[in-house]
C-alpha cells in the first residue's frame, strides 16, 4: 500500500491501529530514534483559482518524528501536538522502508479501516446533503 | 526640565501580571481548553486565520490565556509560531479536492451539484436563545444522538469531494478569460519584507492573514463607493483540504507523499463585471474573479478578501482601497494593534522633548511681546 493512502488511513482511523502496528515492530526490532517527536510548521502552498497562480495560504502546526530500523529511516508527521502518534507513524514508515515481513500482513487491517472511514464519510456526506436546496418554481397563475 | 533616566516598576509589573491572572480566575471557575475547542469554533477559526497558523488546540489555549480577546490570542499564536522551525512546504493544495460541507452561489440558482447550505447562521433570527443558560451536556448528547440516527428521507448521490466549480462553467462559456497554470514559485511575506508593487502571491498571503475586521472594513469601503466594484458571490465553499508533503529524501510522487491531516478553509470566487476591449476596438462585457480564501469558516472575511484582491489589481488606482500600500500595510492584526497599543507604553522622554519645545516656543513668544510692548 502506497504511503499517501496508508498515512491517511492511519491518521484518520482509530488511534488503536497505529499504536498496535508500531508495537509489533518495536517489540521485534531495534528502533533507534533519530529525532524525538517535536513540534514544527508546514507551510501550505496553494493554487488559487482566479489566475491559477501559487501562493502561501499559511502554516500548519505539526509534530514530527524520525526513527531508524536497520538502514531504513522512517518519518512520522501529523497535524497538531501528537507525539505518540508521530512516533508510531515513524516506526510504521520505517517498517515499510525496510520491507519488513510484518507490513505484508497489515494490508488487510488497513483496507478494512479505509472502508470504515469511507462509510463514515459517506454518512456525513449524506447528512450534509440534507441541506441541499430544492427550488420550487413559483406559479404565476397564468 | 531636563531628561531623567529612570528605572523601577519591577514589583509593580510583577503584581500587575499576577492581577491579570486574578482577573481570569477570580470567579473561581476555570475554562478547560477542550471546552473552548469544542464550543468556540468561530473564534478559533478567526484566531487561526489571523495568526496564519492552523492548530485548533493551540488556538484554544491562546484564547483561554487571552480571556477571549482575539487580538491578544493572535499575538500569542504569532509569538509562538516564531519559535518553531518551518520543517516542510506542502505539496500544492488544490481547492478542487476540497471535502465540501457547504457550497452556495449568489449568481446562479442552478449550479452543478446544487446549493448546499451546510451549517450557516444566514437564516437564523438572531434572537438570543435564553435556553442555552441551562443547557446541559446530557441534553446535548441526547440531541446529538437523535440527529445522527435521523433517517435520510431521500438519497442524493452528489459527490461532495468532486463538486465542479462555478467558474469553470463560466470559463467554458467564454464569460471568464481562461488562463493556464502560473507555476511561478510564490513570494513569502514572512521571510521577505513587502515591497511595492507587491506580487500576486504576496497580496493573497497578506489578505488571507489579515485582521477580519480590517479586511471587511476596507472591502465595505470598496463597495460603498471607494472603488468601482459591483461584485456578486460566484461561489462560496467551506470544507476540508487534505495537506501532504513530499518525501524529504525521496521522489515527489503524489502517491508516495505523507498525508499530515486536513485544514478547514473558506474559499470564495467573486464575480465582477468588466468591460474588455476586443479586436477592432469592439467592447465586450466579461467577468473578472476576485479570489478569497482563509483558514476556518470565515465567510465574511473570504468575501472581503475576494473584493480586495480584485480592487488591488486596478492598474490606475484612484481610491485608497485600490492602493496596495494603504491596504496591505494596515490590515495585519499584530502590526496594527501592536502599533496603536504601543502608544500607551512609556513615552516619557519623547513627550518631555515635545513639552520642552512647546514651553520654549511660548517663552520666547512672551519675551518678544514684552520687549515689543510700550
**A133/B114 CB distance under 8 A:** yes
Q: Is the pLDDT of residue B64 over 60?
A: yes
Contact of A73 with chain B, judged by CB distance below 8 Å, is answered with: yes
pLDDT tops 50 at residue A142: no
Average pLDDT taken over every residue of chain A:
94
Q: Identify the residue among A55, A73, A97 best suited for mutation to test binding to B, counting B beta carbons within 10 A and taking the highest.
A: A55
Residue A70 domain-assigned (yes or no): yes
Q: What is the pTM of this model?
A: 0.93
Query: What pLDDT was estimated at residue A34?
Result: 97
pLDDT tens digit sequence for B15-38: 999 999 999 999 999 999 999 999
Encode B310-331: b = buried (16+ Cβ within 10 Å), e = exposed: bbbbbeebeeebbbbeebbebb
Which domain does A122 fall in, by range?
3-131
Partners of residue B95 in chain A, C-beta under 8 Å = 46-47, 49
Give the model's confidence band at A141: pLDDT under 50 very low, under 70 low, under 90 confident, else very high: low
CA distances from B283 to B8, B174, B275, B279 (A): 71, 15, 6, 8
Residues 251-310 of B with CB under 8 A from A: 254-263, 265, 267, 269, 288-291, 293, 295, 309
B186 lies within 8 A of chain A by CB: yes
Across A105-121, average pLDDT: 96
Residue A141 lies in a domain: no
Grid cell 521485534 is found at A28
Closest partner residue to A77 (CB to CB) among B182, B260, B289 is B260
Cβ–Cβ gap A133/B84 under 8 Å = no
Choice among A59-63, A102-106, B3-7, B92-96 with the minimum mean pLDDT: B3-7
Average pLDDT over residues B156-175: 86
Cβ–Cβ gap B259/A4 under 8 Å:
yes
Among the partner-chain residues B85, B242, B263, the one whose CB lies closest to the CB of A41 is B85
Percent of chain A with pLDDT over 70: 97
pLDDT for res A99: 95
Contacts of B44 in chain A (CB under 8 A): none
Q: If you count residue pairs, one on A and one on B, with CB atoms under 8 Å apart, how many are there? A: 217
pLDDT digits (tens, 9 = 90+) for A44-81: 999 999 999 999 999 999 999 999 999 999 999 999 99
Dist. CA A64–CA A83, nearest whole Å: 8
Q: Do A58 and B295 touch (CB under 8 A)?
A: yes
CB contact (8 A) between residue A7 and residue B84: no
Show residues of chain A in contact with B249, CB under 8 Å.
Answer: 73
On whether any CB of chain B is under 8 Å from the CB of A142, the answer is: no
Question: Which residues make Cβ contacts (< 8 Å) with residue A72, sequence separation at least 6?
Answer: A94, A95, A97, A98, A99
Q: Which residues of B touch A2 (CB under 8 A)?
A: 255-256
* A63 in a structural domain: yes
> What is the per-residue pLDDT for A140?
58
- Indicate whether B363 pLDDT > 90: no
Query: Cα(B120)–Cα(B116) distance, rounded to whole angstroms?
Result: 10
Look at residue B171 in the predicted model and tell me its pLDDT.
86
Residues B294/B314, Cβ–Cβ less than 8 Å: no
- The per-residue pLDDT for range B186-245, each reduced to its tens digit, is 999 999 999 999 999 999 999 999 999 999 999 999 999 888 778 999 999 999 999 999
Contact at CB, B257 and A3, closer than 8 angstroms: yes
A142: Cα separation from own chain's centroid: 58
Q: Considering only residues 32 to 61 of chain B, which have any Cβ-Cβ distance to chain A shorter than 8 Å?
A: 48-49, 52-58
Residue B46 · residue B209 · CB < 8 Å: no
| Neighboring chain A residues of B155 at a CB cutoff of 8 Å | 126
Over range A107-114, report the average pLDDT.
96
Query: What's the pLDDT score for residue B345?
Result: 87
Q: Cα–Cα distance between A64 and B313 in angstroms, integer? A: 39
Residue of A nearest to B255 (CA): A4
In a domain, A72, yes or no: yes
Cross-sheet strand order for the sheet of B232-245 = B99-104, B232-245, B258-277, B283-295
Has residue A133 got a pLDDT over 60? yes
Domain contains A136: no
Residue B95: C-alpha distances to residues A55, B34, B161, B163, B242 (Å): 13, 29, 10, 10, 9
End-to-end CA distance of chain A: 63
Give the other-Cβ count within 10 Å of B280's Cβ: 5
Under 8 Å CB-to-CB from B116, ≥6 apart: which residues? A128, A129, A131, A132, A133, B100, B101, B102, B103, B104, B158, B160
User: Do A53 and B184 count as a contact with CB atoms less than 8 A apart?
Assistant: yes
Pairwise CB contact (< 8 Å): B291 & A54: no
Confidence of residue B168 (pLDDT cuts 50, 70, 90): confident
B296-345 per-position pLDDT tens digit: 999 999 999 999 999 999 888 889 999 999 999 999 999 999 999 999 98
CA dihedral B324, B325, B331, B335 (to 10 degrees): 150
* pLDDT on residue B119: 96
Single out the residue of B24, B19, B90, B29 nearest to residue B54, CA to CA: B90
Asked if B110 contacts A65 with a C-beta cutoff of 8 angstroms, the reply is no
Beta strands in A3-141 (DSSP E): 31-47, 54-69, 72-79
Helix axes B70-81, B333-342, angle to 10 degrees: 110
The domain tally of chain A equals: 1
- Those of residues 33-62 in A touching chain B at CB distance below 8 A are 39-62
Distance, in Å, from the CA atom of B165 to the CA atom of A49, rounded to the nearest integer, reads: 9
**Is the distance from CB of B302 to CB of B47 less than 8 angstroms?**
no
Residue B153, pLDDT score: 62
For the cut 80, the answer to whether the pLDDT of residue B47 exceeds it is yes
Collapsing DSSP states into helix, strand and coil, what is residue B51?
helix
Q: How far is CA B64 from the centre of its chain?
A: 20
- Highest mean pLDDT out of B44-48, B104-108, B161-165: B44-48
pLDDT exceeds cutoff 70 at B14: yes
Q: Please state the rounded mean pLDDT for residues B163-181.
A: 86
Instruction: Locate the domains of chain B by residue range.
Output: 10-81, 95-119+159-178+186-337
Between A27-36, B111-120, B271-280, the lowest mean confidence (pLDDT) is in B271-280
* Average of per-residue pLDDT values in chain B: 92
Spatial distance between the Cα atoms of B123 and A43, rounded to a whole number of angstroms: 36
HEC profile for B322-368? HCHHHHHCCCEHHHHHHHHHHCCCCCHHHHHHHHHHHHHHHHHHHHH
Tell me if residue B1 falls in helix, strand or coil: coil
Nearest CA in chain B to A133: B115
Q: Measured at the alpha carbon of residue B64, what is the angle toward residues B191 and B69, in degrees to the nearest 5?
A: 70
Amino acid at each position: 500500500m502506497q504511503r499517501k493512502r496508508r498515512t491517511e488511513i492511519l491518521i484518520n482511523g482509530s488511534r488503536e491501529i497505529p499504536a498496535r502496528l508500531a508495537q509489533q515492530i518495536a517489540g521485534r526490532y531495534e528502533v533507534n530514534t533519530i529525532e524525538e517527536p517535536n513540534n514544527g510548521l508546514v507551510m501550505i502552498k496553494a493554487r488559487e483559482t482566479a489566475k491559477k497562480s501559487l501562493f502561501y495560504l499559511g502554516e500548519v502546526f505539526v509534530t514530527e518524528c524520525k526513527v531508524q530500523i536497520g538502514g531504513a529511516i522512517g518519518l512520522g508527521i501529523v497535524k497538531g501536538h501528537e507525539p505518540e502518534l508521530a512516533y508510531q507513524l515513524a516506526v510504521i514508515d520505517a517498517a515499510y522502508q525496510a520491507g519488513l515481513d510484518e507490513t505484508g500482513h497489515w494490508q488487510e487491517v488497513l483496507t478494512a479501516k479505509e472502508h470504515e472511514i469511507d462509510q463514515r464519510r459517506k454518512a456525513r456526506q449524506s447528512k450534509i446533503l440534507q441541506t441541499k436546496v430544492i427550488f420550487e418554481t413559483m406559479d404565476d397563475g397564468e | 526640565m531636563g531628561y531623567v533616566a529612570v528605572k523601577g516598576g519591577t514589583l509593580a509589573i510583577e503584581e500587575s501580571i499576577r492581577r491579570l491572572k486574578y482577573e481570569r480566575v477570580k470567579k473561581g471557575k476555570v475554562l478547560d481548553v477542550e471546552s473552548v475547542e469544542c464550543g468556540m469554533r468561530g473564534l478559533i477559526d478567526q484566531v487561526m486565520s489571523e495568526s496564519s497558523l492552523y492548530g485548533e488546540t493551540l488556538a484554544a489555549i491562546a484564547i483561554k490565556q487571552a480571556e477571549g480577546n482575539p487580538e491578544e490570542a493572535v499575538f500569542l499564536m504569532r509569538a509562538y509560531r516564531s519559535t518553531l522551525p518551518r520543517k516542510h512546504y506542502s505539496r500544492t493544495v488544490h481547492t478542487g479536492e476540497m471535502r465540501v460541507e457547504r457550497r452556495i452561489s449568489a449568481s446562479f440558482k442552478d449550479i452543478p451539484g446544487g446549493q448546499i447550505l451546510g451549517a450557516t447562521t444566514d437564516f437564523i433570527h438572531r434572537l438570543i436563545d435564553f435556553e442555552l443558560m441551562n443547557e446541559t451536556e446530557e441534553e446535548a448528547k441526547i440531541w446529538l444522538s437523535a440527529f445522527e440516527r435521523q433517517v435520510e428521507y431521500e438519497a442524493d448521490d452528489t459527490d461532495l469531494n468532486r463538486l465542479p466549480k462555478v467558474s469553470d462553467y463560466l470559463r467554458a462559456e467564454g464569460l471568464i478569460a481562461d488562463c493556464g497554470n502560473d507555476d511561478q514559485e510564490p513570494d513569502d511575506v514572512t521571510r521577505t519584507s513587502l515591497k511595492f508593487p507587491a506580487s500576486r502571491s504576496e497580496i493573497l498571503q497578506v489578505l488571507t492573514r489579515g485582521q477580519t475586521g480590517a479586511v471587511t472594513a476596507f472591502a465595505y469601503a470598496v463597495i460603498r463607493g471607494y472603488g468601482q466594484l459591483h461584485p456578486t458571490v460566484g461561489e462560496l465553499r467551506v470544507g476540508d483540504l487534505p495537506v501532504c508533503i513530499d518525501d524529504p529524501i525521496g521522489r515527489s510522487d503524489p502517491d508516495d507523499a505523507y498525508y499530515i491531516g486536513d485544514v478547514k478553509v473558506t474559499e470564495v470566487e467573486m464575480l465582477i463585471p468588466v468591460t474588455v476591449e476586443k479586436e477592432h476596438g469592439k467592447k465586450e462585457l466579461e467577468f473578472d474573479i476576485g479570489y478569497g480564501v482563509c483558514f476556518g469558516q470565515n465567510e465574511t472575511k473570504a468575501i472581503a478578501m475576494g473584493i480586495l484582491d480584485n480592487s488591488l489589481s486596478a492598474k490606475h488606482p484612484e481610491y485608497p482601497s485600490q492602493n496596495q500600500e494603504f491596504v496591505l500595510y494596515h490590515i495585519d492584526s499584530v502590526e496594527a494593534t501592536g502599533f496603536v497599543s504601543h502608544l500607551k507604553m512609556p513615552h516619557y522622554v519623547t513627550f518631555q522633548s515635545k513639552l520642552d519645545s512647546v514651553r520654549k516656543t511660548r517663552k520666547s513668544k512672551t519675551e518678544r511681546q514684552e520687549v515689543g510692548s510700550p
